């Protein structure tokens, strides 16, 4: 999806997804195919390690590993994402042994759909500090993810947020790659 938005522009891509489904589907299909081709080509040139690969977060996973993203889903409703975009993200998830997806803390409205995806193995959330929402604001969503999937959290957090993150109950795994910012530092 982000490839389509980069190529068409944000407004045009949003309009295409909503008003030109045949054209949008064709573009999203081509983007998914191109993404899968490029990721497979990159993996072919990457040395394997212990029958797996390191993800872009430095975490080993068995078999082929891919990281995708849906930054522009922040401009779509959960229903539009589910009906118009998720089928093409699913093509990416299914093409690799271990798929993880990158989200921003402002894009967690699609989490309910993502946690149900069998071929999506892990969700990574970047905390959008200082513009928000901050980690404290999305803690229930992070716990919801952890009830179904391993979670990687990255970005700046306050110490109190780090304490809350460390108290989350993971069903699979929790990786915190965060930087603690001073509590007195104000957000914008």
The phi, psi pair for 70, rounded to 5°, reads: -140, 50
Within 10 A of 59 (CB to CB), how many other CB atoms are there? 18
Residue 131: per-residue pLDDT: 85
pLDDT at 188 over 80: no
Residues 6+ apart with CB under 8 A from 184: none
Percentage of the chain lying above the pLDDT 70 cut: 97
Residue 186: per-residue pLDDT: 60
Residues 6+ apart with CB under 8 A from 58: none
- What does the pLDDT look like over 163-174, one tens digit per residue? 999 999 877 799
- What does the pLDDT look like over 3-55, one tens digit per residue? 999 999 999 999 999 999 999 999 999 999 999 999 999 999 999 999 999 99
- What does the pLDDT look like over 65-86, one tens digit per residue? 999 999 999 999 999 999 999 9
Q: Bridge-partner residues for 179, per DSSP?
A: 156
Going from N- to C-terminal start, the domains of the chain cover 2-181
Q: What angle do CA 157, 106, 172 make, to 5 degrees?
A: 65
CB 123 within 8 A of CB 115: yes
Residues 6+ apart with CB under 8 A from 135: 105, 127, 129, 142, 153, 155, 157, 158, 161, 162, 164, 165, 178
Extract the runs of DSSP E, i.e. beta strands, from the chain.
52-54, 60-62, 65-69, 98-104, 122-126, 151-158, 174-181
């Amino acid at each position: 999806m982000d490839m389509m938005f980069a190529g068409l522009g944000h407004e045009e891509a949003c309009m295409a997804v909503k008003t030109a489904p045949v054209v949008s589907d064709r573009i999203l299909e081509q983007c998914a195919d191109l993404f899968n081709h490029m990721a497979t080509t990159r993996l072919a040139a990457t040395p394997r390690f212990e029958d797996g690969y390191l993800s872009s977060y430095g975490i080993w996973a068995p078999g082929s590993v891919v990281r995708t993203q849906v930054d522009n889903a922040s401009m779509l409703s959960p229903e539009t994402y589910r009906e118009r975009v998720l089928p093409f993200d699913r093509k990416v998830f299914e093409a690799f042994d271990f798929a993880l997806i990158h989200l921003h803390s402002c894009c967690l409205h699609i989490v309910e759909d993502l946690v149900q995806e069998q071929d999506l193995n892990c969700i990574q959330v970047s905390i959008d500090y200082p513009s928000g929402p901050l980690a404290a604001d999305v803690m229930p969503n992070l716990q919801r993810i952890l009830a179904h999937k391993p979670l990687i959290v990255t970005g700046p957090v306050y110490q109190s947020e780090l304490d809350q993150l460390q108290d989350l109950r993971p069903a699979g795994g929790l990786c915190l790659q965060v930087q603690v910012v001073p509590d007195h530092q104000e957000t914008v």
